Structure 1
Amino acid sequence: MNNKPISIREVTLHRLVMRLIDPFTTSFGTFQDKEFFVIEMEDETGASGFGESVAFSSPWYSEETVETNKHIMQQFLIPLLLESPIEHPDEVSKRFESIRGNNMAKSALEGAVWDLYAKRNNNPLYKELGGRKQQIDVGISIGIQPTANELVHVVEGFVNEGYKRMKVKIKPGADYEMLKEVRRHFPDILLMADANSAYTLDDIDTLKKLDELNLMMIEQPLSHDDIIDHAKLQSELATPICLDESIHTVEDARKAVELGSCKIINIKIGRVGGLTESKKIHDYCAQQGIAVWCGGMLEAGIGRAHNIALTTLPQFVLPGDTAASSRYWEKDIIVPEVIVENGVIHVPDKPGIGYEVNRQVLESYRVDKTVFSKNNIWA
């Protein structure tokens, strides 16, 4: 193991725009172009680690955006990283404590530190995190479809591809009847609904009807910042509630579990501020017997690789959203691309994230580049 502290020499922000193969629709709206940053972090030896930002161009999932991420990284977080060497990636979140919130900006940089640290130790990232699995089960996230028949057709395609779990986005008016039709055609599949905060307690009768459909869970049915009303709703439902947007820290997870607000937690690395906090939430949920799974933010290959590494931890007992690269992109920015075989991803055993960055493809998607060092900032 390389015990020498990491001295970061240079941080490069590659700003990319990639077009999804198909438009993606949730209760928030529809979009097709994904704008994000690839963070490249170089140490004193010339080795590089990579992270990926997950904020969207508009603040519909959270208050963060691509543009706010750039501001926070450039003005506050990168200077903090460059001020002194780093012994271990777990130190990064402590170094960032003076900056409130902005978890997605923090996570993007912390991910690059983790990748670099694992490469310096000549170890796969998943092993540095304490992961054990050689392969992980994966599901698929399906946007809201125009009709129940179209939804059934989409689900059928992914069932035939072997995905282990189907997550269907819902909103008022596009929920029970559509899911009922899916369940009629596929009585035995693992099926869940994701509401992205589209409901209130006034919709409790509609949500209670979903109990008929034997769903794995209903994800984030109520407000993005709520845990109180979710506890009231969970007491009325047989179907487990899974919290997503409400959970940003291990303290949020503790309060939600103690209140009875959920029975499952979706851990998204970007939403909670990085791999270090993700591990803390995972460990707490393992102690409490709360199932966790890894959610997706329509990541390109680098973010997808971080999700794969995290999902090897033992309490990730439910299939996550880390689908194949080809589900979303004509060409991904890593080689090899993420491949799913019969609903399974085989975890790469190479140092770091386990995939190589395809420089040619990255540059073809790149719209801007900014480089930071201890002494200079230049475009």
Structure 2
Amino acid sequence: MPRVRELEVFRLVLPYGRRSETLLVKLTDHGGMTGWGEALSPQPKTWSKLEETLAALIIGVDWEHPDAVPSGDPAVDMACWDLWTRMRGVPLAEAIGGTRTSLMATVRLSPDPSTESLVSRVNQQVCAGYGHVTLDVRPGWDVEPVRAVRAAYPALTLAVDCGNAYTEHGQLVALDSYGLEVIERPFAAGDVYAHAALQDQVTASVAVEVASTAELDDFLTVRAARVLLLRPTAFPSLSEARRAHDRAAAAGWDIQCAGGQGMGLARAATVAVASLPGCTLPCDVTQPPRQNQLVTPIVGANAGVIAVPLTQSGLGHDIDESRLRRMAKETFHS
């Protein structure tokens, strides 16, 4: 039975993209075993909550399962799962019900200065072994780039991620004529009926992203989509993410796991969740650049395939702790 004797939390500014933040949590039990977790773009009150209240909830308290720890924080929950599974000598993927040993991967490509440059980037990824490409589109950068890529690669499996940026259906219906597999996040996240109306008009599957099973139920009730974009770190716990997986799968939806940001731990948790039987679409963990990860082995795809670490316990990855301590902008220890 785990009993945590030390809690450490590290705040880092991500060295890429829009330089958002991530929190890493380290738990150490009385036998010296450690568990790690990560929370991306934490809420402003998260740091003070962890510092003021979490230590009292977790240090010196016996618990038999991660679900018994009332943290309400995804990084702490992930660290509890990592510690619990390491103590039992089982991989996290196996502990949560994963069945896959490897995953197909999609590669995500951001908007480009020109369609010619975009097609060249797609060519690089196809040559690297990817058979599934997700293009980020926005109003003003949508039909022309998709048309160009489809013309160059008639048989390539294509998806688009709209980033919740659209308010009208017209351009999205036009995109559907290019044989897309999935149209991800077309409208504002909570606009259930706009998603439902689009799904009625297109052949591609509409994908929605939620952060709770209650939100998912709203979409399921009106059949507003056919794909769940499941980002494990958006949920308060891995068990809640598993429940969302179960509900979507029971409804006949496909599921795509995504979680490429952070310093590697969130990506590792995404791979574990993506090994669940209902995660039928390629996994998205292609960002950030590999050199920005703090874990070994690096989490990523090789020739379009992601290995699920089933020979190591826990998350299956170790933290470069000396580098973490150099990079941390703020820490606390209890």
Same fold (TM over 0.5): yes
Query: Whole-Å Cα distance in 2 between the matches of residues 243 and 364 of structure 1?
Result: 38
* RMSD value, Cα: 1.9
Q: Distance in 2 between matches of 1:345 and 1:48?
A: 25
Structure 2 distance, partners of 1:289, 1:205, is 27
Report how far residue 303 of structure 1 moved. 1.3
Change (3 A) 1:180 1:68: farther
Q: Please, which runs of 5 or more residues in structure 1 have no aligned partner?
A: 24-30, 56-63, 98-105, 373-379
Instruction: Note the residue ranges of structure 2 that are not aligned, 5 or more in a row.
Output: none
2:328 matches 1:366: yes
Deviation above 4 Å: which 4+ runs of structure 1? Answer: none
Offset at residue 339 of structure 1 (A): 4.3
Once residues 281 and 120 of structure 1 are traced to their aligned partners in structure 2, the CA distance between those partners, rounded to angstroms, is 27
Match of 1:16 among 12, 22, 31: 12
Kindly provide the amino acid, as one letter, of the partner of residue 222 in structure 1: F
Give the TM-score normalised by the residue count of structure 2.
Answer: 0.93
Is 2:328 the counterpart of 1:351? Answer: no
Match of 2:7, SS state, is: strand
Q: Kindly tell me: are residues 78 and 260 of structure 1, through their superposed partners in 2, closer, same or farther at Cα, counting changes over 3 Å?
A: farther
List per-residue Cα deviations over 1:118-171 (Å, max 9, x = no partner).
Answer: 001011111111111111111112222222122212222111111232111111
Q: How does 1:44-59 map to 2 (within 5 A)?
A: 44-55=30-41
What secondary structure sits across from 1:51 in the alignment?
Answer: strand
Q: What's the counterpart of residue 223 of structure 1?
A: 188
How far 1:81 moved relative to its partner? 3.4
Task: Indicate if the aligned counterparts of 1:264 and 1:291 stay in contact, CA closer than 8 A.
Answer: yes
Aligned to 1:258: 221
State the distance in 2 between where 1:185 and 1:71 align.
52
1:314-366, Cα deviation, whole Å (9 max, x unpaired): 1111101123x7x6142521112124222112222201111111123223322
* In structure 1, distance between residues paired with 2:28 and 2:264: 19
Give the stretch that moved more between structures: 45-54 or 137-146.
137-146
- Residues matched between the structures, number: 333
Deviations 1:174-226 (A, max 9, x none): 111111111111111121111111011xx211111011111111111111222
Equivalent position of 1:172 in the other structure: 139
Match of 2:67 in 1: 90
Pick one of 202, 218, 222 that aligns with 1:237: 202
How far did residue 35 of structure 1 move?
Answer: 2.6
**1:299 paired residue number:** 262
Q: CA deviation at 1:77?
A: 4.5
Percent identity, please. 26
Partner of 1:376: none
CA offset at residue 256 of structure 1? 0.7
Match of 2:58 in 1: 81
Among 71, 75, 80, the alignment partner of 1:113 is 80
67-76 vs 286-295, which moves further: 67-76
- Match of 1:163, SS state, is coil
